[in-house]
Amino acid sequence: MARRPLLTHAPLPAAALALVLATTSCGTGEDETLTVWIMEGTNPDATGFFEEANDAFTEETGMDVEVEFIPWADAQDMISTSIAGGTMPDVVELGTTFVPEFSDAGALHDLAPAIDDPSSYNEGMLEMGQIDDAVYSLPWYAAIRSVVYRTDVFEEHGADEPENWEELRETALELSEAEDDMIAFPVPGDAQYSVLPWIWGGGAEVAVEQDDGTWVSEVDSEEAREGIQFFTDLSLEDDLSTTGAVNWNEIDVMESFSEENAIMAILGNANPKAIVENNPDLEGDIGVFPIPGQEEGYSDSFAGGSNLAVFEGTGNEDAGISYIEHLTDPEWSVRWADETGFFPGGVEEIEEYAESEDPTVQPFAIQLNEAGRGTPVAPEWGQVEAENVIVGMQQDILNGNVSVEEATESAADEIEQILNGG
Amino acid sequence: MMSMRGRRAALPWLLLTPPLLVIGALLLFPLGRIVWLSMREYHLSNLVSGESEFIGFDNYIALLTDPYLWNVALLNTVVFAFVAVVTTVVLGTLVALLLVNLKVVPRVIVTSCIMVAWAMPVVSGTYVWIWIFDVDQGVVAQALMSMGVVDAGGYNWFADRFWFYAIVTLNIVHSGFPFVAVTVLAGLLTVPKELQEAALIDGAGPWKRFWHVTFPVLRPVFAVVTILSTIWDFKVFAQIYLMPGGDVGGSQMLNLGVWAYVRSFGHNDYGMGSAVAVVLTLLLLAITIVYLRSLFKDDEL
């Protein structure tokens, strides 16, 4: 039987339960307890970290902190409903791609007065929450995807880390033949960040802002199509994936790797630690290489991560800012990074990781520093994600419903329609 | 000073007031709010500011001219509900007819068993079906692959509208037929034995006895189970939303209920989402009225 992660697919009951919890646990007035929403699903268990970080905060300020863990898949719905009901938490972790949308809507508190030195933060992540002079969120940790692979399997069959797309394909073909019952390279349908590197690697952008402020999507360009064709053909033509992977999200891909079913996979920098947590047998057998470029170099990968933001109108804004300062302070942000595998959101702290000796850390740092890219900074981008435009495109192709040309064309239309406010 | 008669007239209203207040707060207010929302331009920023603009029927016009409504959402909703209701009621009735012929002990055992299907929470039930039909490792896929019906690569039935809804129908019928069976059974136990015996003596076969004796007596029961099943099957949500591909905006698998949710919370277009919800409600009302009228056309009811 497949073990699907229940929580990631069960937004309604979870959301309802959390709403009940939220309404009972936090009011909108001045409160002794600070409520914080932290995302969960792709990183190792964070309970222990927050117990200690919160104790330290309480000692410092005398304020209690209550952390609620929210599955990533439910985050957007839950935040929207909490805004509607006036039951927002005081502090929230927001995936960087959702920051522009909530900043633009006026839901967040301006943090600019509390920032001493903006250049100490990762620039791309800070920008996501910037509108004019206001800064609506602060970088907390950076996440990046690269190719995670089984060093023991590579070694056994004498395979090397591939350095371009063709080598990647050939390596996967060889390993797939040698390891009959393993998936050489899962091509998931429900994981848009696994698709973007091929669009970027092919030489296209997801969407480009024109001089007149409208957006034009390049997903249907020749370059993007070539990349998407290459990625989906790994499954459709070369049979290096599995039919069921059409329904997989990033967590399913990670589980397939944890269960020793996959040899390579596009995974995030917090995944190796989570995989070893799931399956200690794999300790020492996990390697990472940056996603190779089409001919040479690297393909850009999605540089995401999370910012921390304070909701406007909770009455606890100042305490919320103190809590963000507490979590983004190197003492706790570096510790969080060490425990999860994510990178800290501060510039100086990130640089240290590029020199790390750890084979599951350094390649990710290279990918982030040399080949990381973000999604379009438009308030409407969150809707492109919530509407699953790229996922729909990928699944249509993998299911054999439509050609790459047709799928990319309608995806580009949809992206333009949403970004241009249609 | 109120007269005795006046006091008597006021008493029912007095007793009705508390429940009416509760219904008003829990049912009528959200209903009115949805209608109000459906005539507004309402996005995330309006949610934050609380202010919004009245745009009349613009949302409805956009909705009714959207081919997605006619080709996907409405079609899925109506065809699925029709198939599911017919299957549920027929299967439920057959089970009830079986139960009424059983002795007490076996009847209790069978009833308890089907109650389990009824009591299964929707989310757990749906996941069980998803697991059963898992494309790679599900029991159905494994069985079909070992029989050679499906080749070793497997087949993604969640991507095919017909098979997707076939699985949803299985799920809905499985959780819906116990209610029909138990309700019809209760009705069957009230059908006078004399009627059946008289028909038997007149030489009526089992089908004639059911259709001409049992069914007319149970007509109100069938009306209730059919209408309730119709309402439930029209507004199916979790059983579709939780399925792979059931939450993807623009996919071929959405029905009106899921679409309303995706429009509201995916697109942050709460006005449009509400318009979809209102259309679904009106559709249900219309179907219920037409059905009730046709059912009781010949009766004095």
Instruction: Name residues 98-127 of chain B within 8 A of A (Cβ).
Output: 123, 127
Identity of the residue in A101, A386, A399 whose CB atom sits nearest the CB atom of B156: A399
Looking at the fold, whether A283 and A338 belong to one and the same domain comes out as no
Look at B250 and A386 and tell me if their CB atoms are within 8 Å: no
Looking at the fold, whether A234 and A381 belong to one and the same domain comes out as yes
Look at A10 and B244 and tell me if their CB atoms are within 8 Å: no
- Does any domain span residue A122? yes
Distance of CA A308 to the CA centre of its chain: 15
Between these two residues, A385 and A390, which has the higher pLDDT value?
Answer: A390
Instruction: Give pLDDT tens digits for A239-259.
Output: 999 988 998 989 899 999 999
- Does any domain span residue A237? yes
Percent of chain A with pLDDT over 90: 59
Identity of the residue in B131, B153, B248 whose CB atom sits nearest the CB atom of A2: B131
pLDDT band at B2 (very low <50, low <70, confident <90, very high): low
B265 touches chain A (CB under 8 A): yes
Mean of per-residue pLDDT scores for chain A: 88
Look at A392 and B250 and tell me if their CB atoms are within 8 Å: yes
- Does any domain span residue A35? yes
Looking at the fold, whether A284 and A180 belong to one and the same domain comes out as yes
Measured between CA atoms, the residue of chain A closest to residue B150 is A243
Looking at the fold, whether A202 and A344 belong to one and the same domain comes out as no
Q: What is the CATH number of the domain that holds A279?
A: 3.40.190.10
Give pLDDT, residue A18.
44
Looking at the fold, whether A180 and A326 belong to one and the same domain comes out as no
Looking at the fold, whether A85 and A231 belong to one and the same domain comes out as no
Instruction: Give pLDDT tens digits for A83-109.
Output: 888 899 999 999 988 888 899 888 999
- Does any domain span residue A313? yes
Instruction: Give pLDDT tens digits for A363-385.
Output: 999 898 889 888 888 888 888 88
Look at B44 and A107 and tell me if their CB atoms are within 8 Å: yes
A421 touches chain B (CB under 8 A): no
pLDDT band at A1 (very low <50, low <70, confident <90, very high): very low
Looking at the fold, whether A318 and A190 belong to one and the same domain comes out as no
Measured between CA atoms, the residue of chain A closest to residue B46 is A105
Percent of chain B with pLDDT over 90: 53
**Those residues with Cβ within 8 angstroms of residue A122's Cβ, 6 or more apart along the chain or in another chain:** A139, A142, A305, A345, A346, A347, A350
- A and B: number of Cβ contacts within 8 A: 115
In order, the DSSP letters of A319-388 are HHHHHHHHHHSHHHHHHHHHHHSPEESBHHHHHHHHT---TTTHHHHHHHHHSEE-----TTHHHHHHTT
Looking at the fold, whether A25 and A54 belong to one and the same domain comes out as yes
Q: Can you tell me the distance from the alpha carbon of B97 to that of B188, in angstroms, rounded to the nearest whole number? A: 8
B130 touches chain A (CB under 8 A): yes
Looking at the fold, whether A260 and A172 belong to one and the same domain comes out as yes
Look at A388 and B265 and tell me if their CB atoms are within 8 Å: no
With CA atoms as reference, report the closest residue to A91 among A108, A74, A75, A105: A108
A181 touches chain B (CB under 8 A): no
Looking at the fold, whether A179 and A101 belong to one and the same domain comes out as no
- Does any domain span residue A56? yes
Looking at the fold, whether A195 and A97 belong to one and the same domain comes out as no
- Does any domain span residue A262? yes
Q: Can you tell me the distance from the alpha carbon of B169 to that of A3, in angstroms, rounded to the nearest whole number? A: 23
- Does any domain span residue A1? no
Look at A12 and B138 and tell me if their CB atoms are within 8 Å: no
Choosing among A252, A387, A406, which should be mutated to test the B contact, i.e. which has the most B CBs within 10 A? A387
At A213, list the tokens: 């402020």
Instruction: Give pLDDT tens digits for A4-61.
Output: 333 333 344 444 444 444 444 444 444 579 999 999 877 778 899 999 999 999 999 9
pLDDT for A281 beyond 90: yes
Task: Find the mean pLDDT for residues B245-253.
Answer: 80
A105 touches chain B (CB under 8 A): yes
For residue A254, give its domain range: 145-301+376-419
A212 touches chain B (CB under 8 A): no
Look at A399 and B251 and tell me if their CB atoms are within 8 Å: no
Looking at the fold, whether A99 and A131 belong to one and the same domain comes out as yes
Which residues are bridge partners to A92 per DSSP?
A37, A309
Kindly list the domain boundaries of chain B, sorted by start residue.
38-295
Which superfamily is assigned to B38-295 in CATH?
MetI-like (1.10.3720.10)
Question: How many distinct structural domains can be found in chain A?
Answer: 2
Identity of the residue in B49, B242, B266 whose CB atom sits nearest the CB atom of A387: B266
- Three-state DSSP at A135 gives strand
At B290, list the tokens: 């037409």
Contact A315, A31 (CB under 8 A): yes
Look at A386 and B245 and tell me if their CB atoms are within 8 Å: no
Instruction: Give pLDDT tens digits for A182-237.
Output: 999 999 999 999 999 999 999 999 999 999 989 999 999 999 999 999 999 999 99
